[in-house]
Structure 1
Amino acid sequence: MFKHIVRIRWPIYKCHSFKCSPSVLSAIPISYLNVDVARSTTTLVQNRLHDSNENNFAYNIISKQLSPITYIRPTEAETLEEFESTLDKCWRDATATEIVEAIKSVKKYCIKNNITIEDTRFDKLVDGLMDHCEELTYVELVELLECLSELPLAHGYDTHNFHDVWSCLDDISCWQMLEWNVDQSFTVANLWFKLRLGRLCDYIFLLLDRLAKKADKLSKDQLVNVMFYLNVCRKRSVDFEYEYALSKKVNTMNIDELAVVAMGYFKTRTSIKILSIVDTMIKSVCENAKQAHDISLSAILKILRLSKPVKLTSDVFYMLDKLLPEIPRLSDLCCLHIALLSTGIQNYHPETLQIVSEKMVKNIHNKEKIRLKDIERILHVLTMFDYDPKTLPDIFHSCYNELHSTERADEFISYNRSLVSALHYLSLKNMYSYQLLDKILREEYITEVYGKAAKNVPRELFSLECSIDIECPDYKGSRLSKKLRHKVAKWTSDFTPSKDQVKKISSAEELILDAIDVTTNVVGGKDFIFVDHVLPHFSRADIVVCKDRETGKFIKPPGFEEYILGDVMFPVKDEKLTFYSIVILGWHNTIRDQNTPLGLMLMKKRQLEKIGYKPVFVIWKEFLSLSEDGRNGYISSKLM
């Protein structure tokens, strides 16, 4: 089958999850191409980074479940002459067994002298392997992969010889997989991970596809292995077959194994659908709070946040009570995930937010402990619930100062999107940096970070642009062009629903339509209401009504004819008129099951007041429970 393989240097990326040319690949950050060790491509200098603590931690858990690989050590080359003599033979005439033995025999010399398989002296040996690769037995394939993983790292996945060898062995692994049992398959998968090719090879993707068909027959340990390799691949979601099988075995897993499961879900951006799995994770954290490892806790907390276990809010709060005394021993990153869990259930645990904030503000100047990314995240959770921990020094001002620190200049490149988000969260506290606003609103910066398309400009940046008109009257720096601002507004605005729309009306849209109908009845007709995005950086439109103070009657809201989408719509300045802006707060705008608005809505209220409106909140929990007469009275009382 393989006798006539022609060795070529493949110009196209092999893995089916990417389809791009080398010129494109050279622009992709190396961390996206490898799991735990970064390699350069042939156009870059080799840049070996620290192994990923999280993946190594998970690998140590699953590797304990498999038998160690043992093989007879061949006679080893000790000198340069022996090394070159071994390689300088006509290996096309040898057997696959002899080729494997030859590679094993020079391994020690290569390690000692830092010789990679890219070396042209390996050409003949690699030629022979290409000719006889179909003859490799399972044991020889395992030995060869193990040997390659121990050799000095090649300079890139597509380098001379190395690409030919690993892509050939990848094909062999895929074709022979049907003859192996599950544990043998995982042994080979572990070796691909050790080779730093877990996200590149086809073998692991194919293995996961194959095992999904018999997920219910896998043992607990095998399911943990599956979740580890889903974490490694990241490009495929967790099959429901695996989740169903997990739900039957999850009660027998310890907290570290549950952490591996959590990593598989989180890295593939798949939320857990079966509630019993989430419940088991919460109970395991409660039982092991005092001795749980940072990485295990972080992994479980991340997937709990992603899965949004609203029905288990009371259990989540009980778990946070258990973790509260452990916060001093945990890393800052783990503590941050404890705080962020509140965003997943849209309800906050004030005690943990307080202690985590106090801990983070102490280390805020330490770049190794608190990254720009982490500053953005703690601001996110605190401003979401408008929670002020009143730390000393103040955490908001400390974060503001860190954004201006010259020592974090490199992080502005690494986490350029985090900078914009952090500035947006500070704007919720009415804190603005003119210096940084001038930087992020420059056309060159926006193009470099987000590209030229208006749809890629994030809502956070658009919010800062619009907030300048309202809260920064003396700002003189960079601004979005009127044309770009209008286009961005189109992409970030949710258009007002109508009763005759083709798309099925959602419950959120029904709330809006009901509020419009009731307001229309209260003010005396459609002519007396104006529905539009008066604050364009908020996705939902508001209902504007205008009352004549002298007559006490509602009139048609004047002065909005010249505005277009994307403009901040200031009301007419007339002491005889009162402009009301009716803001409809759905379930996602309030703290879960409460009437308390989230921080973003409090910012909207502040900005509406600043430009001349009298904001009125129509809260879903209050409004929906009322009768028709009750709703009319509810709106009327707010427009007094």
Structure 2
Amino acid sequence: MGGITMTRRVDLLNFVKGKSQCTVFPFGKIVTGGRLWTPVLSILQDAKQTKILYRYLFTFKHDLIMHSRDSKVRAHCVRNFAISKPVWNRTLGASQNLNRSVKAERSLVEVINRDNRTGRTADNGFVVFMEKENEYFHDYLSNTIQYKPFFFPGCRNEDTFKSSTDSSTNLDQMLNNFNSTKISQDQLLSILKELTCLPTKQHLNLFLDPNFHQLCKCLLSQLTDMSNKAYFESMETMSRFNFRQCITSDLRDLRIMIAKSYDQENIARISDWDPRQLLLVADFYFHLRCSSMPWVGYLKRMFSTLFISKILGQLGNEEIVTLLLHVGLARQIGERELNDAVLKICQQIDSYTIEELGIVSLAYFKTNKPVKNTLFQEKIAAKLNSCIKDVEPICLSAILKCLQKSSNKIWMRYRPEMLQMMIDLQPSLSLRMSSLTPQTALHVISIFHNFKYISEKLISSFSVKLTHDDLLEWRFKDMALAVRLLAELSECFPNKTEILDRLTDELMSAHRESEVTSYLDYLARFLLGMAMAGVYSVPLLKWLFRPDSLAYFADHKINVYRDLYQLSESVRIECPSYSGPLLSDHLVKAQSKKSYICGRMPRIAVNNPGDGEVVNVSKRDQMMLQCIRALEWVLGGQQHLWVDFLLPHYQTADIELCTHFSQRKDKTGGLLSDPFDSEVCSTDQRVAVLLYAENAYYSLIRADGSVSHVLRGNYAMKRRQLKHLGFRIIEIPFYEFSQLEIEKKYEYVLNKVKLAEVLSKDYVNKLVLPTQ
């Protein structure tokens, strides 16, 4: 028990129970007071054997994490109480009067408690998830022998958690005795090199020292006078400090000051450097965490079309991969220059590792450019197939993101072998789903959803992950995407209600409040996905449609308003119990003037198709035109059908059968002539003919290997809402209709109308199929 008796344990239990009525972190105050650190830790180590005490300690788990500065207590709580590591970061350091050492400790704690899988940190009151791709691929190259010449050594990662008992050796004396007016370049660099030998834990303390700031300013003032050798030596020295962990505002200013001073000098010297030196300087920005900063002029110059075209011919294989690593970090390069670089890689692509191809893939994805090199696509797909069981999740995610960015319908029609290679990945990915990070798992599902080919096993493994995964691992935008994918594939999720309830509870928890408030566009996607699945959360809907929340979308792109409009109208139809605010008609009209919130009519003479062929239209419009002609014959005239947006919040028009004279009016406002009489029409219901094009379905690969067409969630919601409004539905899917000959299409439409029982049997039996 670590020296604590049962009596003391019971006393502490009673003390904790007595404090349970406190309103402000009762147990956290006990821990931070320093009085019970050792006994608490001792009890924690034996807590699982003392079930009653464990239950009470579990009640105060968040308070322990939020306030404890004892790393052992935090680590044990995280390990044995399943407490998220960054939870305590959100409140630690609330006091504005922390001294220098406490500030440094706070910064260090944010570093130590960053999640190993997702890189979570606390910022502005909510959890921020930091991408680990950059660190992973940078470490891979910088630790590979042939790539080392293009990278600075950086700080010593093995010292991050080293004890710093001797870290104060003459540190204050060194800095206090520093005289900037009498020091030479060599002496200055010598002092800095000596400081880099301190454990990296001590660097955060160092960065807050005013004397160290003065030392850095002295170095920056001498950059212009340095020789090229001394200049690179200074960059190598500065890269050894732990600047990548300067993630708080009070530490960020120092590295930004250093980066900007070097940036000015780098621009002046860039034309004198060879490719190796150019890549070294780019690596310096990585160590200062400034690779993607918009003000970095050196990288803009380096990745400019003229400069890249000039140096590309001088680069070997290693230089090109390193260059593309920095392209991904900086997120900038021209599409032509990127494709030219990858073209050189494709000449020897079989010799590259999966990690190197992952770096190239990430460059495509981060610069938002599709892969047009079909050889590269095929080779990385084949490479991924050969090592799918062993590839690291981060590398897997990078490649899938690249392929997803480049995927389109052409793959299915003109490159069946490529599609098959991707489909062959699904069994192995299903087995690995539980061990993948949330982001990688989402990319796996997304890419196959884009291809419209997905297996039952893959969906099942994703369902299990959503049911059992720790939702603290998930970013808000990941949850929004997960809900959208679940809604699109909802017919294959038997436990969708359980999953949606779980995600909703997580989103409504207190620790997500600031995150949700800051990213309301994700909330709109999340709620629209739930609506597609037929589930509505009244509290979240009220939150989204508040006037102050809608003001958030003032400068957003039009597709956000389409989502809001579709969600608002769906609530009106399917959630009558909701009594809160919705999107106003005034706001819809105002946005409609800027762009089309609603859909556009198809490019055919929809209400007067005639007999001539219509060219240059989509396959769905061609399908609609053929269906209109068949319906005109069935109904006995054009006046009995109408093409319109039956649901104004949808982007596609459908056909309504005018089976009763009171349903439609002509342009003058009068009733349409020639209505069906009771002998012809057997229903007073409005009848909707829904045309489902190829894009409305995805192909579900069953466990027995068979493939079936499953309607996507957005179209299923449309059908559901029309039924709710009282429509009788006739559905015409492409895979049944498009393959038929002309005369068969007339017969097919007639049979659909018969099954809907829209027309009287006597009228239908008199119809004779037209001869072609």
TM range (shorter): 0.7 to 0.9
Q: Does 2:311 correspond to 1:206?
A: no
Cα distance in structure 2, aligned partners of 1:81 and 1:328: 53
Describe the shift of the 1:190–1:613 C-alpha distance in structure 2 as closer, same or farther (beyond 3 A).
Answer: same
Matches of 1:600 and 1:39, distance apart in 2? 36
Check the 8 A contact 1:454/1:487 in 2, yes or no.
Answer: no
Instruction: Give 3-state SS (helix, strand or coil) of 2:657's partner.
Output: strand
Identity %: 19
Give, in whole Å, the separation in 2 of the partners of 1:152 and 1:604: 54
Unaligned runs of 5+ in 2: 1-118, 155-168, 607-614, 670-680, 700-706, 755-772
2:498 & 2:129 partners in 1: Cα distance?
34
Residue range with higher mean Cα deviation, 156-165 or 465-474: 156-165
Q: 1:192 aligns with which of 276, 285, 289?
A: 285
Match of 1:533 among 645, 655, 679: 645
Distance 1:520 1:606 in 2: 23
For normalisation by structure 2, the TM-score amounts to 0.65
Please give the secondary structure, in 1, of the residue aligned with 2:381. Answer: helix
| 2:484 aligned residue | 380
Q: Deviations over 1:368-423 (max 9, x none)?
A: 32344333233222321333333499334433444444453344235433322222
Distance 1:48 1:603 in 2: 33
Structure 2 residue matching 1:531: 3-state secondary structure: strand
Q: How does 1:84-483 map to 2 (within 5 A)?
A: 84-89=176-181, 100=189, 104=193, 114-116=205-207, 119=210, 126=217, 129-130=220-221, 133-151=223-241, 153=243, 165-200=258-293, 201-209=296-304, 210-215=307-312, 218-236=315-333, 238=335, 239-308=338-407, 310=412, 311=415, 312-363=418-469, 366-391=470-495, 394-448=498-552, 450-451=553-554, 455=558, 457-483=560-586
Q: What secondary structure sits across from 1:58 in the alignment?
A: helix
User: How many angstroms does 1:196 deviate by?
Assistant: 1.1
The CA distance in 2 between the partners of 1:113 and 1:87, in whole Å, is 23
- Aligned-partner residue type, residue 647 of structure 2: L
- 1:519 and 1:417 map into 2 onto residues whose CA distance is 43
Structure 2 letter corresponding to 1:518:
R
User: Does the Cα contact within 8 Å between 1:216 and 1:242 map onto a contact in 2?
Assistant: no
The match for 1:60 is 139
Q: 1:257 to 1:438 in 2, by over 3 A?
A: same
- Aligned CA RMSD, in angstroms, stands at 4.1
Supply the distance in 2 between the matched residues of 1:159 and 1:322 (Cα, whole angstroms). 43
Deviation at 1:524, TM superposition (A): 5.1
Q: Which residue does 2:597 correspond to in 1?
A: 492
Deviations 1:272-294 (A, max 9, x none): 22222222222222222232212
Matched, 1:545 2:657: yes
Q: Residue 655 of structure 2: SS of its match in structure 1?
A: strand
Pair 244,556 (structure 1): closer, same or farther in 2 beyond 3 Å: farther
**Within 2, Cα distance between the matches of 1:375 and 1:275?**
33
Does residue 1:586 correspond to 2:586, yes or no? no
Q: Residue deviations 1:133-179, cap 9 Å, x none?
A: 34433332222223333446577699888656533422332343333
**Residue 606 of structure 1: aligned partner:** 720
Alpha carbons 2:385, 2:421 under 8 Å: kept: no
Which one is further off, 387-396 or 136-145? Answer: 387-396
The answer to whether the 8 A contact 1:301-1:338 is kept is yes
Give the CA deviation at 1:234: 1.9
Instruction: State the Cα distance separating 1:218 from its structure 2 match.
Output: 3.2
CA distance change for structure 1 residues 361 and 81 in 2, over 3 Å: closer, same or farther? Answer: closer
Q: Which protein shows a greater Rg?
A: 2
Q: What letter is aligned with 1:287?
A: S
TM-aligned CA deviation for residue 120 of structure 1: 7.4
SS at match of 2:472: coil
Paired residues for 1:64-79 under 5 Å: 64=143, 65-67=147-149, 78=170
Q: Is the 8 A contact 1:97 1:136 kept in 2?
A: no
Are residues 88 and 139 of structure 1, via their aligned partners in 2, closer, same or farther at CA, if it must alter by over 3 Å? closer
Deviation at 1:56, TM superposition (A): 0.6
**Which shifted more, 295-304 or 142-151?**
142-151
Answer whether contact 2:206 2:212 (CA < 8 A) is retained: no
SS at 1:431 equivalent? coil
**Structure 1 counterpart SS, 2:181:** coil
Q: Residue deviations 1:446-465, cap 9 Å, x none?
A: 212x1267936433322221
Counterpart mapping for 1:13-92 below 5 A: 52-64=131-143, 65-67=147-149, 78=170, 80=172, 82-89=174-181
1:13-49 residue CA offsets vs partner (Å, 9 max, x unmatched): xxxxxxxxxxxxxxxxxxxxxxx99999xxx99x998
Amino acid at match of 1:114: N
Query: 1:315–1:176: structure 2 CA closer, same or farther, 3 Å change rule?
Result: same
**TM-aligned CA deviation for residue 325 of structure 1:** 2.7
* TM-score, normalised relative to structure 1: 0.77
Whether the 8 Å contact between 1:465 and 1:480 is mirrored in structure 2 is yes
Q: Give the gaps of 5 or more residues in structure 1.
A: 1-35, 72-76, 549-554, 564-573
